[in-house]
Amino acid sequence: MSGGLRTVEDQLADVLAAVRPLPTRTAGLADGAGCVLREAAIARGGIPDFDNSAMDGFAVRFDDVATASAERPVDLAVIADLPAGTADDPHLTPGEAARIMTGSPVPSSADTIVPFEDTAGGLDDSLTTARVLAAPARRGMFVRRAHDDIRPGDTVLDAGTLLGPRQLAALAAADIARVTISESPRVVVISTGSELVEPGFPRIRGQIPESNGLLLEALSRQAGGTVIRRVHVDDGGAAFRHEIAAATTGGSRADVVITSGGVSAGAYEVVKTELGDALRFSRVAMQPGKPQAFGVLPSGTLVFGLPGNPVSAAVSFEVFVRPALLALQGRSDLRRPALRLPAAESWRTPPGRRQYLPAVVDRTDPAGWSVRPATPGGSGSHLAGALALAEAYAVVPEETAVVEPGDLIDVVLLEG
């Protein structure tokens, strides 16, 4: 506790303690894109799987060409042609070579590749004689050795890894066709507030366009969730009760419900009124995002009651909901790494609360990045427009009261 407020760590620990990883399923690689690997992926084939050529040229016996030079070229008889995909393994006797293309298997009797560039004729006449003008630097030159990168039976990726483009390619290269991945968390997003109107619809005085729903849906997707329902309800209670009932029963059951609004200290706080006994309502030492609600319903559904201000909702998602969605999928890295960047300007921070300031990274000097607030005017949690400019959160410790230019600040980039 600090000043009657819970620490961010305590709140997050409560959340993560409630997470039970979701079931797994097996899938083809293409279906695994964006999913979390739940069992280590073991190489079936090696990378590379066989000795192969790194260059277009000639497979040779090193001893034949060890003394070759422009002044004393060595002529080899070309006895075979080895395009990519060939299964041939021609036997080379002394004085013989095989034309070979990049990626083709190196004949068992050869040990070195001479690239076309080091021969007199290059590709021309390459099926009769190879006149070698330079000795290879060493035996084995331009041969990619079998299993250089991965051996059959090696772990290519550990459980808990997110399968992105490079990971999928590595699995395919190791001849892995199916993977065990996590089910995606089923998420319901409920925005609360009698003032909310769908964007584009007519409004009367006091009404505002509903924006948190889209925000939380898109953030959930980025974190691997599947949003099965997004809805906004008024503060009366009946609609909210109905949505919670639907999200906790039957075929529309959710793993996670994310609400926004209705958790702070005012009147008409619908989440507090309806789920006051089921969730823990906390005041967390952070800015924005002080009022937080979290709990697990009897159905097992995790419920996050986020504050309604758009910046508060976005920050709360980043700090509490995203780690939970990743943990549900068995992800090993729940936190984004922070960069340490100097502040480009001065700004104030609230004493006793950790600040998560929407920020931009000044990359004018590629060798000297710095961080500044996304809005020059300050950090209002209602500034939904400024939020769109942010690419990071500057995270400033509880005990700091003012950031001075040049102070080193933790910066969490929000991409991905």
Residues interacting with ligand AMP, by CB under 6 A? Answer: 191, 193, 195-196, 208, 210-213, 260-262, 264, 266, 307-310
Closest CB 190 distance from ligand AMP, rounded Å: 9
Ramachandran angles phi, psi of 85, nearest 5°:
95, -10
Radius of gyration of the chain, Cα coordinates, nearest whole angstrom: 31
Q: Which stretch binds Mg ion (CB under 5 A): 72-80, 123-131, 192-200, 342-350?
A: 192-200
Q: Distance (Å, rounded) from C-alpha 4 to C-alpha 212? A: 28
When the beta carbons of 193 and 305 are compared against Mg ion, the nearer one is: 193
CB 23 within 8 A of CB 170: no
Q: Distance (Å, rounded) from C-alpha 115 to C-alpha 126? A: 11
Q: Is residue 261 a contact residue for Mg ion (CB under 5 A)?
A: yes
Q: Is residue 48 a contact residue for Mg ion (CB under 5 A)?
A: no
Q: Is residue 115 a contact residue for Mg ion (CB under 5 A)?
A: no
When the beta carbons of 276 and 351 are compared against Mg ion, the nearer one is: 276
Cβ atoms within 10 Å, residue 409: 26
* Contacted entry of Mg ion, ligand AMP, none for residue 202, CB cut-off 5 to 8 Å set by kind: none
Q: Distance (Å, rounded) from C-alpha 130 to C-alpha 74? A: 8
Count of residues that interact with Mg ion, criterion CB under 5 A: 4
Q: Distance (Å, rounded) from C-alpha 247 to C-alpha 253? A: 5
When the beta carbons of 167 and 381 are compared against ligand AMP, the nearer one is: 381
Tokens 């393994």, located at residue: 89
CB 36 within 8 A of CB 331: yes
Q: Is residue 193 a contact residue for Mg ion (CB under 5 A)?
A: yes
Burial class from Cβ neighbours inside 10 Å (0-12, 13-18, 19+) for residue 247 reads buried
* Contacted entry of ligand AMP, Mg ion, none for residue 301, CB cut-off 5 to 8 Å set by kind: none
Closest CB 200 distance from Mg ion, rounded Å: 21
Q: Which of residues 282-321 bind Mg ion (CB under 5 A)?
A: 308
Closest CB 260 distance from ligand AMP, rounded Å: 5
> Which parts of this chain interact with Mg ion (CB under 5 A)?
193, 261-262, 308
